[in-house]
Chains A and B, each alone.
Chain A
Amino acid sequence: MSLFHMNNVKKTFSHGEIEEEILKGIHVTLPEGKITALTGASGSGKSTLLTIAAGLQTASDGHISFQKEDLTAMRNEKLRQIRAKQFGFIFQFAHLVPFLTVEEQLALMLETAESPLSRQEKSKEIREVLELVDMWNRKDAYPASLSGGEKQRVAVARAIIHNPKILFADEPTASLDSKRSEDVMKLIQKLSKERNITVLMVTHDMDMLNFVDHVIEMLDGKIVKK
């Protein structure tokens, strides 16, 4: 069995009377420690697929197995623990907590993931990761005073500080210029290698595909190419 596997996953949204099937039976296996990119036209269901995979919304049908456990059959509390400890997220927007400094964002993530590290080990880890994303010199800054690219780098740092098994990223570079996009992609690539993190990433940007190991293309709720 692989680390992460989606089997015949379907998602239906109902707008009043009308039911619309957005995902029409998705089969995906994520190769461990590798970066898998998810591309496709706008509205094809990429974000829906990613958030279902990440346990942020439920599937209408099908199964998702993670470390031999079925996410679709899991109680909310168990799912929360998996999100907190095993998954990392990067969204299209950084979504940092506005009243916490850069350093505190990471401390909160470690605390949420119930990291067993000691106090000193935690601050050492935070420093290491912030240096990795080149944000250590801004550790006391609040999100409001950061540029878009800086925020996104902090978001990447927050997504991996607790050493997740899987990193889910939805267009992490969409709000950045091409230079910054490349920096973030290189960073994700480096982290994935160094820390053996499995990545599932949605992207529109064909230039970004140079940094990934596999590409899945979606069309109209189905996977058309692997």
Chain B
Amino acid sequence: MKMAWKEIKRNKLRYTILGSIVFLISLLTFIISGLANGLSQDNASLIKNLPNGTFYMTEDADETYNFSTIPETQQKEILDEQPDATFFSIQMGNFIDEADKQRSVAYVTATDDTYFPDVKEGEVILDTSMEEEGIAIGDEITNEQWNQTLTVAGFVEHEKYSHSPAAFISQADFQELFHTDSMQIGFITEGAINDTAAFTDLQPFSNSDFLNTIPSYNAEQMSLNMIVIFLLVISGMLFAIFFYMINVQKLGIYGILKAIGVKTGRLFQMMWAQMLFISIISLVFSILISQLFQWLAPSGMPFHLTLQTTLLLSIIFVVIGFIGATLSGIQIKRVEPMQAIQQGEM
């Protein structure tokens, strides 16, 4: 007999309140996690878009890409051994658009167009956020220090670095503008490495290690992840407290059920079934709403929540709820039939 379900049906208000709380907490967790992800995309999509591989910087650069210099001769030597390697440089800077407005961007150039857009000399390709800001294809951009202009040749989606839109320019222009003919960073995909000896004197970084060298990235992600973890812990405690309260109110019933011979395990099953039922319904609602939010969120808002992340968090919620409910259920094990019988009418 479905006692769990029958009890929920007879106590709709109580279980609706519990469900709403689970719903709100999980929705909040999903949204914070979406923001954490969104900010990380906003901060470093240029790097996050690259496949898994290894990044290289010079050792004396001390993990700071600005200080890393891989001269052309060394690039050639490496490319002889590892033709799939790419070298690129990033330089934070700004330009003045046709409306005389100053724009901060991250200038990026690369030795080939495998991972980055192909740009001709005298042209620039910008992140789409610049298009939303009113810049159009064919616009001329310049800078006080330059004695030349660049023409906007196109836009690419989701290419940002250090919260700034990327501006891809040709190697020649990069050398001209920033007075350097070396590159900062080498990159090669996981499968392509066949001779690590080619990269002597260079310090390797995995994708996530490299992301952590971006100054703001680490701190930002850590605080957001802490919030998500706290929310998960709090929701676990809420589960435990709520089931504790519900169980305390039901001790009399549990005692009577035990007196007539119902197994303690059966009572636990009943509680687990209720916990699963309530949390799964609440989670389905908050998954739907968080996905809707993703869809409706203003485009300027850094929000990025994959279904995968949501499902993973949901599983954690269910596990935590299960632990919380089970801990509070220890009272069920303790209750003596006699207590309930002596308590009188319920």
The residues of A with any CB-CB pair to B shorter than 8 Å are: 51, 56-57, 80-81, 83-85, 87, 89, 91-95, 97-100, 104, 107-109, 111-113, 142, 158, 170, 175
Contact = CB atoms under 8 A, between A and B. Distances in A.
> What 5 A-B pairs have minimum CB-CB distances, sorted nearest first?
A84-B261, A99-B10, A93-B345, A83-B261, A99-B7
Interface string B307-346: 0000000000000000000000000000011101100111
Interface of B: 1, 3, 6-7, 9-11, 253, 256-263, 336-338, 340-341, 344-346
A112 to B, nearest CB: 5
B261 A99 contact: no
Contacts of A87: 261
A175 B336 CA distance: 24
Given A56-B337, A56-B338, A98 B260 contact: no
Q: Which of A80, A92, A104 has the most CB of B within 10 A?
A: A80
Contacts of B337: 56
B261 A51 contact: no
12 contacts: A83-B259, A83-B260, A89-B260, A92-B344, A94-B345, A98-B346, A99-B3, A99-B10, A100-B3, A104-B6, A112-B260, A175-B345
B11 to A, nearest CB: 7
B39 to A, nearest CB: 47
Q: Which of A83, A89, A95 has the most CB of B within 10 A?
A: A95
Nearest to B264: A80
A100 B260 contact: no
B10 A56 contact: no
Given A51-B341, A99-B9, A107-B1, 20 more contacts: A56-B337, A56-B338, A57-B338, A80-B261, A80-B263, A83-B259, A83-B261, A93-B346, A95-B259, A95-B341, A95-B346, A97-B253, A98-B253, A99-B11, A108-B3, A109-B260, A111-B1, A113-B261, A142-B10, A175-B345
A186 B260 CA distance: 23
Nearest to B2: A104
Nearest to B337: A56
A55 to B, nearest CB: 9
Q: Which of A93, A99, A107, A142 has the most CB of B within 10 A?
A: A99
B66 to A, nearest CB: 68
B259 A89 contact: yes
Contacts of B7: 99
Contacts of B6: 99-100, 104
Contacts of B10: 98-99, 142
A82 B137 CA distance: 86
A66 to B, nearest CB: 14
Contacts of A92: 344
Contacts of B3: 99-100, 108
